[in-house]
Copies of this chain bind each other. A is one copy, B any other.
Amino acid sequence: MRVALLAHEKFPDRAKTAVGVLRYADHDVVAVLDRENDGTTVADHLGGVQDAPIVASMSDVDESVDALIVGIAPIGGGFDESWRPDVRNALERGCDVISGLHYFLESDSEFRNLAEENGCELWDVRKPSEDLGVADGVADQVDADVILTVGTDCSVGKMTATQEFLRAAEARGEDAAFVPTGQTGIMIEGWGNPVDRVVSDFTAGAVEDMILERGNDHDYLFVEGQASITHPAYSAVTCGILHGSMADSLVLCHEAGRETVHGYSQDISPISTYVDLYEGLTAPGAGGEVVAGCLNTSGIDADADAWDALGAYSDELGGPAVDPVRFDAHDALEVLL
């Protein structure tokens, strides 16, 4: 699929979805829209991903495009009216528009009419499927080994770690797939349930549905986790994914140096506390254990210091710890596969 990424004024540091798509999606990115960086290219800002021109608007994109992806999520999830000409231009040329905003494009009559007139689709990835229900507690019956990333907090790199594990497993010749539970994961993979937007009674069921749908087609499923089991606001999402996935193995994701829950006056607990809680919660059901850790060392400058941090994290966990973005996933895959 040939895509353009809308990331006005936010590329790359505040455009998490756009960067995720550039890094991990199987799409050909023909342009990034960011009027503040017009005239530069992706490579001027970000290493290790496909290059693409950065332009001021959709009307500057001459090439054929299959989809425009809204690659930023402003606080509150609203639609910025300054993006309207880009979305309009995309629809007028018959290009689908994919969005993870709380504001649903489908509920915008201009966009809905344009999509209809031009035979293209609006896909609001944050809108949950209508046919979700309660979990039956049967996700452990699939053939695949299910591996779930869990965390000590939000935004420690669970989605990224899960993608890196998937790629490292595939590089070894394993048949593996990704189970997306959040908007960026869904945009990268082209399917999935936005578990944080699902009715709380159906949280586990939404994950179970995805495991059942893909679990007999692959040898390994890597499930994207969310938030943390002790998070003051989002622990419900974490707990539903934990029980819905009935994972065989858990990977505990943490950011080096993070001491406080982001945005809240609650300390991050000792690592052993998270291990005990996640394993305690799975024990009565599927019994998945924390077998490896993933440490986001992006805040540490020197590689030698990052290695030290990995060593200390591994000791706390009692298992191998990796930073698959900075180094590789090898030691973790040894115990996961």
**Chain B residues positioned under 8 Å from A204 (CB to CB):** 232-236
**Chain B residues positioned under 8 Å from A120 (CB to CB):** none
Bound Cα distance A218, B24 (Å): 53
The residue on B at minimum CB distance from A231 is: B243
Which residue of B197, B201, B230, B243 contacts A232 across the interface (Cβ within 8 Å)? B243
**Stretch among A29-37, A83-91, A273-281 lining the B interface:** A273-281
Which residue of B205, B239, B284 contacts A267 across the interface (Cβ within 8 Å)? B284
* Chain A, range 111-170, C-beta contacts under 8 Å to B: 134-137
Asked if A266 is at the interface of the complex by the 8 Å CB criterion, the answer is yes
The residue on B at minimum CB distance from A128 is: B199
Chain B nearest CB: distance from A315 CB in Å? Answer: 21
Known: A137-B265, A204-B232, A238-B239. 5 other contacts (CB 8 A): A136-B233, A195-B200, A200-B200, A201-B233, A273-B283
Report A's interface with B, CB cutoff 8 A: 134-137, 195-201, 203-205, 229-240, 242-244, 264-267, 269, 273, 276-277, 280-281, 283-285
Bound Cα distance A199, B201 (Å): 9
Interface centre among A198, A231, A238 (most CB of B within 10 A): A231
Bound Cα distance A135, B266 (Å): 13
Bound Cα distance A265, B140 (Å): 12
Which residue of B199, B239, B244, B284 contacts A269 across the interface (Cβ within 8 Å)? B284
**Chain B residues positioned under 8 Å from A197 (CB to CB):** 199-201
Identical copies of this chain, number: 2
Bound Cα distance A17, B245 (Å): 32
**Chain B residues positioned under 8 Å from A264 (CB to CB):** 136-137
Chain B nearest CB: distance from A231 CB in Å? Answer: 7
Chain B nearest CB: distance from A317 CB in Å? Answer: 17
**Chain B residues positioned under 8 Å from A135 (CB to CB):** 232-233
Bound Cα distance A129, B150 (Å): 30
Q: Are A284 and B230 in contact (CB under 8 A)?
A: yes
The answer to whether residues A137 and B233 also contact, given A277-B277, A284-B267 and a CB cut-off of 8 A, is yes
Which residue of B198, B235, B285 contacts A239 across the interface (Cβ within 8 Å)? B235
**Chain B residues positioned under 8 Å from A269 (CB to CB):** 283-284
Bound Cα distance A201, B236 (Å): 7
Chain B nearest CB: distance from A250 CB in Å? Answer: 15
Bound Cα distance A23, B267 (Å): 44
17 A-B residue pairs with Cβ-Cβ distance under 8 Å, sorted by A, are A134-B234, A137-B232, A137-B266, A195-B200, A197-B199, A197-B200, A200-B236, A204-B235, A204-B236, A230-B284, A235-B242, A235-B243, A236-B237, A266-B285, A267-B284, A273-B284, A277-B281
Q: Are B239 and A236 in contact (CB under 8 A)?
A: yes
**Chain B residues positioned under 8 Å from A231 (CB to CB):** 243
